[in-house]
Amino acid sequence: MIRAPAFWTHDGWLSRGLSIFSPIAAAVTGHRVARPGWRAPVPVICCGNATVGGAGKTTLTLDLVRRLTARGIAVHILTRGYGGASQSPRRVTSGDTAESTGDEAQLLATAAPTWIGADRAVTARAAIKAGAEVLVMDDGLQNPSLSKTMSLLVVDGRTGFGNGRVLPAGPLREPPERAAARCAAVVLIGPDTTGALARIPAGLPVLRADLAQGPEIAALAGRRAIAFTAIAIPDKFFLGLKRAGVLLVGSESFGDHHRFTAVELARLEGISRLMDAILVTTPKDAVKLPTGMNVKIIDVHISWAGETAIESLLDRLMSGSSVPVAGRSKAVSTTLMNDR
């Protein structure tokens, strides 16, 4: 998979030149999201964003699934299956691989029944027939086929909205203000170093969180390691390792969703032996590795500044209290909002 263009991070001459096409892209997206979708008989939560690429949607999806499952609720996950060869809407099975379903679907399927397919209404009907009591969508904020009961806008605080321009001039799928108007809250992951919150409507709750690595990272403190990953923002992983005290003697990033070749993996193993270092990667990357490869997998999860806000949103959702539906701009009570 390709990497995001470097000019998406700054407002240079190339982005300004391409900006003549941005109103067209924004209008197409606006027309698409205005179409009514199928309204499911069960709650539908969408973890979406306004940009192309990683913001933490999958990690948030896993967190919500864990919380709902702990309440005794049968949760199913809907995802596109990006990067997989399979085009038919269906449930991920134990016989599937990252090549057939995509890496994110493989990771999500370890947490709850997971369905892939571009048409979320089709997979939603199948999931409900299979017993789903709540549906959680990983991405799909701009997909109109299924009506959402509650949408959360995920924003990576370190990258924000890039240069602030809509495709192809920048990373935005649509203006953040429009995306936020269809959401119940913003989930800000990491400190807002780019001023992204300035483009969020003032009345919309902001739930602050960060990414935290699993307890297995403690055993790697002081050890030499070579990290490799194929996630959208690789520095998140590398910096986390350094902060945990891992002696990072090498790192390599590949394009988002990249499928590792045997040659690439053999080269990494050779370098690790030469430098007397262990190989480390993420769970999303690990699902694409051959069985038996000696790699340490470092888990990552959402660490909330306070869990009251997200639990309150889920309480409202499951009690049937009013939460925003796609297309409405009214958000839940601002008592859930953290200081900006």
Residue-wise pLDDT for 29-75, tens only, equals 999 999 999 999 999 999 999 999 778 999 999 999 999 999 999 99
Does 147 lie in the same domain as 47?
yes
Residue percentage of the chain with pLDDT more than 90: 84
The mean pLDDT of 127-148, rounded to a whole number, is: 97
Does 312 lie in the same domain as 282?
no
Sign of CA dihedral 288, 292, 294, 299: positive
5 within some domain: no
Q: pLDDT value at position 124?
A: 98
Does 220 lie in the same domain as 207?
no
The mean pLDDT of 156-183, rounded to a whole number, is: 96
Does 191 lie in the same domain as 174?
yes
Does 108 lie in the same domain as 188?
yes
DSSP one-letter code for 202: T
Does 293 lie in the same domain as 319?
no
pLDDT greater at residue 171 or residue 335 = 171
Residues 124 and 285: their CA atoms lie apart, in Å, by: 27
Using DSSP's 3-state secondary structure scheme, residue 187 falls into: strand
Tokens matching residue 228: 């490799």
Q: Where are the alpha helices (DSSP H) in the chain?
A: 13-18, 22-33, 57-70, 98-101, 103-108, 120-129, 176-180, 234-243, 262-274, 283-286, 308-319
Report in angstroms the alpha-carbon separations of 124 from 58, 80, 284, 311, 316: 18, 12, 24, 24, 21
Residues 6+ apart with CB under 8 A from 81: 101, 102, 104, 105, 116, 117
Residues 42 and 165: their CA atoms lie apart, in Å, by: 36
Q: pLDDT value at position 2?
A: 58
32 within some domain: yes
75 within some domain: yes
For residue 206, pLDDT beyond 80: yes
3 within some domain: no
Q: pLDDT value at position 331?
A: 37
Per the listing, tokens 């096409």 go with: 21
Does 265 lie in the same domain as 191?
no
Does 49 lie in the same domain as 183?
yes
Q: pLDDT value at position 257?
A: 86
In CATH, what number is assigned to the domain containing residue 312? 3.40.50.300
- Our measurement of the distance from residue 217's CA atom to the centroid of its chain's CA atoms, rounded to an integer in Å, reads 22
For residue 327, pLDDT beyond 60: no
Q: pLDDT value at position 247?
A: 97
Among 52, 321, 334, smallest CA distance to 166 is for 52
Residues 6+ apart with CB under 8 A from 295: 279, 280, 281, 286, 289
Residue range of the domain that includes 248: 215-298
* Domain count along the chain: 2
Q: Return the number of other C-beta atoms located less than 10 Å from residue 263's C-beta.
A: 8
Residues 6+ apart with CB under 8 A from 274: none
Q: pLDDT value at position 322?
A: 64
- Contact present, 198 and 166 (Cβ < 8 Å): no
- For 276-305, the pLDDT digits (tens) are 999 999 999 999 999 989 999 999 999 999
Among 127, 117, 121, 133, smallest CA distance to 39 is for 121
Using DSSP's 3-state secondary structure scheme, residue 125 falls into: helix
In CATH, what number is assigned to the domain containing residue 279? 3.40.50
Residues 15 and 9: their CA atoms lie apart, in Å, by: 10
- Our measurement of the distance from residue 208's CA atom to the centroid of its chain's CA atoms, rounded to an integer in Å, reads 15
pTM: 0.91
Per the listing, tokens 């790699």 go with: 295
For residue 338, pLDDT beyond 50: no
Residues 14 and 64: their CA atoms lie apart, in Å, by: 39
Does 316 lie in the same domain as 287?
no
